[in-house]
Amino acid sequence: MIDVSTLTISNTHKHLTEGDFSVRELCQSYLDIIEKENPQIHAYLEVFDDVLAHADTAQARIDAKTHSILTGIPIAVKDNILIQGKKVSAASKILENYRATYNSTVASLLENEGVIFLGRTNMDEFAMGSSTQTSAYGITRNPLDTDRVPGGSSGGSAAAIAMNGALAALGSDTAGSVRQPASFCGCVGLKTTYGSVSRFGLIAMGSSLDQIGPLTKTVTDAEILFNTLRAHDVHDSQSISDVLYASTRDQKKISKKLTIGVPRHLLETEGLDQVVRANFDASVEKLISLGYEIKDITLPHIHYSLPTYYILMPGEVSSNLARFDGVKFGLLKEGDMLLEDYKKTRGLGFGKEVRRRILLGTYVLSTGYYDAYYNKAQNARHLITQDFVDGFKTVDSIITPTAPTPAFKIGEKTSDPIQMYLEDIFTVPANIAGIPALSVPSGFAEVEGKQLPLGLQFMSPPCREDILFSVGKDFLGEENA
């Protein structure tokens, strides 16, 4: 028996190269756990039937010494990232049984390294949600307390790690959809710099906000995956060139200890749980004890982030989801005429939350309202981004809690969309500004006799994921090379 609870990408690579166990044995261990745990947790929508065949191929690479650190590593993939020939539904009925006709760039990069894709994980439908309760295929439960949500929209990916059903996972982050589930499930989640990881082959939600990122057990593992995924891609018009990325990172080398900015005015946010506040204060003290300089800063316009997001995002959703009409792919419900086809297909294919955001987005983009809403939101976005530009002139990283609460109970917030949207209050500014952000486990809250994980979020300037990895590893006590 392989104790997968102790495995990371780093030590698994060492075990595989030293022959402590084979890739097939490793993958079988994960498949056994998934078979046992997934019926209750529902982290996976599908486990791929070619896992062991790919395991044997990876083993041959290891035996021939043509492998990399990721060869043979079992990874889960969110159900909105295309893997050629595999089903991909974005957890929506409108794409039920649709199979990807091409590879996403991230899938190709990982396949080249010999990664084993275990299966596709559950998510909020079209990544619209913060709890993985809007999936058309059923909710996902938090493995640490099955009465509670795992977060969203990448809740299935985070739950897969928390139940030891994957060594790492891919998610997508539009307003916190990697970081908030990481916080709720006690793992590490990275939102990458906008343009650093290709979005080609990611089913779009909000194109100016979406980013693919890893969920892992350690910061080191997140760094390993990021170093493979970060690459210029001609298929993504917003992809950052390798030269620009390298030059940005070289502008300022990491000093021994960094200056951490604390926007304390954000901690007065309505709905911030006192146990989260206490944990954040303790995390600040820990950083001080580690030798970091703590500096209070002000981000004057950041309180506009959530309303700005809920104008920009629905507008982009309305545009992006217009392609799903049943004509070329996906669900088709026929009516008496073409318009009836559209109405039936989209009415039955899209869930309630998706329809809500499409309608809102269509409204803010409509004639007479575009300037009043969408253009003003773009102006607010510029101000928020400038706040971060100014803030990073005096500090190297900015910290906040990842989420305002620990994991909440299933069904607790579904009747009040505004309360659900407030879960993104600390994470959405990074997406608005396009900067990288990292959530790391920061402790636990005792709630109704259960120990629920909490997360601390670090943000850094664009292309400075190296800062996040350095301070994140230091905070968690990982070896920092």
For the stretch 403-454, pLDDT in tens is 999 999 999 998 888 888 889 999 999 999 999 999 999 999 999 999 999 9
Residue 480 in this model has a pLDDT that exceeds 60:
no
Q: 153 an active-site residue?
A: yes
Q: What is the pLDDT of residue 269?
A: 82
Cα dihedral value 336, 339, 345, 348, nearest 10 = -90
Percent of the chain with pLDDT over 70: 99
For the stretch 224-269, pLDDT in tens is 999 999 999 999 999 999 998 888 776 667 767 899 999 999 998 8
Q: What is the pLDDT of residue 453?
A: 98
Per DSSP, what are the bridge partners of residue 78?
121
More confident residue, 370 or 187: 187
Q: What is the pLDDT of residue 477?
A: 97
Give the relative orientation of helices 9-18 and 219-229 as an angle to the nearest 10 degrees.
80
Please work out, in degrees rounded to the nearest 5, the angle formed at the alpha carbon of residue 34 by the alpha carbons of 42 and 220: 95
Tell me what the pLDDT averaged over the chain comes to: 95
325 alpha carbon, distance to own chain's centre: 27
Catalytic residue of the set 89, 135, 177, 460: 177
Residue 312 in this model has a pLDDT that exceeds 50:
yes
Per the listing, tokens 């009747």 go with 415
The two three-digit tokens of residue 54, written as one number: 């790919």
Neighbours of 147 (CB within 10 A): 14
For the stretch 88-114, pLDDT in tens is 999 999 999 999 999 999 999 999 999
What is the three-state SS of the chain?
CCCHHHCCHHHHHHHHHHCCCCHHHHHHHHHHHHHHHHHHHCCEEEECCCHHHHHHHHHHHHHCCCCCCCCCCEEEEECCECCCCCECCCCCHHHCCCECCCCCHHHHHHHHHCCEEEEEECCCHHHCCCCCCCCCCCCCCECCECCECCCCCCHHHHHHHHCCCCCEEEEEECCCCCHHHHHHHCCEEEECCCCCECCCCECCCCCCCCEEEEEECCHHHHHHHHHHHECCCCCCCCCCCHHHHHHHHHCCCCCCCCEEEECHHHHHCCCCCHHHHHHHHHHHHHHHHCCCEEEECCCCCHHHHHHHHHHHHHHHHHHHHHHCCCCCCCCCCCCCCHHHHHHHHHHHHCCHHHHHHHHHHHHHCCCCCHHHHHHHHHHHHHHHHHHHHHHCCCCCEEEEECCCCCCCECCCCCCCHHHHHHHHCCCHHHHHHCCCEEEEEEEEEEECCEEEEEEEEEECCCCCHHHHHHHHHHHHCCCCC
The two three-digit tokens of residue 336, written as one number: 């008496």
Catalytic residue of the set 29, 104, 130, 153: 153
pLDDT band at 70 (very low <50, low <70, confident <90, very high): very high
Q: What is the pLDDT of residue 481?
A: 47
What single letter denotes the amino acid at residue 153? S
- How large is the average pLDDT for residues 163-191? 98
For the stretch 204-217, pLDDT in tens is 999 999 999 999 99
293-296 vs 259-262, strand pairing mode? parallel
Catalytic residue of the set 78, 86, 413, 473: 78
- How large is the average pLDDT for residues 186-201? 98
Q: What is the pTM of this model?
A: 0.96
For the stretch 332-348, pLDDT in tens is 888 888 888 888 899 99
What is the Rg, in whole angstroms, of the alpha carbon atoms belonging to the chain? 21
Please work out, in degrees rounded to the nearest 5, the angle formed at the alpha carbon of residue 425 by the alpha carbons of 225 and 128: 65
For the chain, the maximum distance between any two Cα atoms, rounded to a whole number of angstroms, is 70
- Please check whether residue 24 is in contact with residue 160, taking contact to mean a CB–CB distance below 8 angstroms: no
Nearest C-alpha neighbor of 437 from the set 153, 157, 191, 255 = 191
The CATH superfamily assigned to 4-242 is Amidase signature (AS) domain (3.90.1300.10)
Nearest C-alpha neighbor of 205 from the set 92, 328, 291 = 92
Q: What is the pLDDT of residue 333?
A: 83
